[in-house]
């Protein structure tokens, strides 16, 4: 078994649990764990996180939908434009230097943490 497998499985379990409980888990949990725990470079960690979140989003979304908790019209109003934003963001991400991307991500996490704390 490759050395990364236990770290990747543990990352997935933590991210999935947090996605189900709090609606978070992707970039906030997976990216830092991939960089720190699985020795990924930042850009592949971000891209891998997005691909992995496809599975988490479907599983958590289906579970919440089964409980009648999803506002489908609002989800579409968020999700469809977010799809366009994701394509534009991925395009930029592939062309931008790594250091500014990492600093912007760190700033976003700090701002989010501050807003949540207040």
Give mean pLDDT, residues 41-64: 89
Give tens-digit pLDDT for 75-102.
Answer: 999 999 999 999 999 999 899 999 998 8
Q: What is the pTM of this model?
A: 0.75
Range of the domain at 81: 5-117
% pLDDT > 90, the chain: 50
Contact 1, 41 (CB under 8 A): no
pLDDT given for residue 70 in this prediction: 96
Q: What confidence tier does 20 reach under pLDDT thresholds 50, 70, 90?
A: confident
- Say how many domains are in the chain: 1
């Amino acid at each position: 078994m490759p050395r990364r497998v236990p770290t990747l499985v543990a990352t997935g379990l933590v991210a999935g649990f947090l996605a189900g409980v709090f609606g978070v888990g992707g970039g906030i949990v997976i990216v830092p764990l991939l960089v720190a725990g699985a020795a990924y470079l930042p850009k592949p960690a971000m891209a891998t996180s997005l691909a992995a979140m496809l599975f988490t989003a479907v599983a958590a979304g289906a579970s919440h939908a089964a409980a009648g908790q999803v506002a489908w019209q609002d989800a579409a109003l968020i999700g469809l434009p977010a799809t366009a934003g994701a394509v534009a963001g991925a395009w930029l991400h592939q062309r931008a230097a790594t250091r500014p991307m990492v600093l912007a991500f760190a700033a976003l996490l700090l701002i989010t943490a501050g807003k949540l704390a207040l």
